[in-house]
């Protein structure tokens, strides 16, 4: 499978979120708020936990297959990118700062 670099993933994610905003305006008369986006992310993050547990045989749920889990993991990354865009946070910079700080702390 083709790998996507983070910069391209950010641009594609922002575009997809705008398409969802258009759908929201059509269906509901307004876009979801940032808070609603955050709640949707948290819901999907919770589903990652359940799917992981189901895959490990620790939760009685259908749908713990690899494709289901991969989809939800990808969706969570997409939500984080969409949220960072709406909050005017450069996710690439945020990730770099986090990785550098964590590496520095652990390399001591």
| Digit-coded pLDDT (tens) for 8-39 | 999 999 999 999 999 999 999 999 999 999 99
Q: Is the dihedral of CA 43, 1, 18, 89 positive or negative?
A: positive
CA–CA distance, 7 with 88 (Å, rounded to integer): 15
pLDDT of residue 66: 86
pLDDT of residue 63: 58
pLDDT of residue 100: 96
pLDDT of residue 72: 96
Regions of the chain where pLDDT drops below 50: none
pLDDT of residue 104: 96
- CA 59 to chain CA centroid, Å, is 23
CA–CA distance, 28 with 76 (Å, rounded to integer): 23
Number of other CB atoms surrounding residue 51 within 10 Å: 22
Return the domain boundaries, the chain.
6-106
pLDDT of residue 60: 82
CATH code given to domain 6-106: 1.10.287.1080
pLDDT of residue 52: 92
CA–CA distance, 85 with 11 (Å, rounded to integer): 10
Query: Percent of the chain at pLDDT above 90?
Result: 82
CA–CA distance, 33 with 21 (Å, rounded to integer): 10
């Amino acid at each position: 499978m083709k790998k996507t670099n983070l910069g391209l993933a950010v641009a594609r994610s922002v575009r997809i979120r705008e398409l969802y905003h258009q759908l929201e305006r059509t269906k509901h008369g307004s876009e979801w708020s940032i808070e609603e986006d955050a709640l949707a992310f948290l819901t999907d993050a919770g589903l990652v936990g359940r799917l992981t547990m189901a895959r490990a045989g620790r939760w009685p749920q259908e749908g713990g297959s690899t494709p289901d889990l991969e989809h939800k993991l990808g969706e969570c990354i997409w939500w984080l990118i969409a949220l960072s865009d709406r909050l005017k946070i450069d996710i690439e910079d945020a990730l770099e700062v986090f990785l550098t700080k964590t590496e520095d702390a652990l390399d001591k």
